[in-house]
Amino acid sequence: MRRLLFILTAFLAFLPALTSNASAQNEKINFVASWKQNTDKAIIEITVTKGEAPFKCYVYDKSPFLGGKLVAKTEGVTDNKFEILLNSKENVYICLYTSESDIEMSTKLLNTDNK
Q: Which domain holds residue 32?
A: 28-110
Cβ neighbors of 42 (< 8 A, separation 6 or more) are 35, 85, 86, 87, 88, 89, 90
What is the per-residue pLDDT for 23?
A: 41
8 belongs to a structural domain:
no
83 belongs to a structural domain:
yes
49 belongs to a structural domain:
yes
Which position has the higher pLDDT, 64 or 25?
A: 64
Number of domains, the chain = 1
State pTM to two decimals. 0.70
Q: Please, which pLDDT band fits residue 21 given cuts at 50, 70 and 90?
A: very low
21 belongs to a structural domain:
no
Q: CATH number, domain at 53?
A: 2.60.40
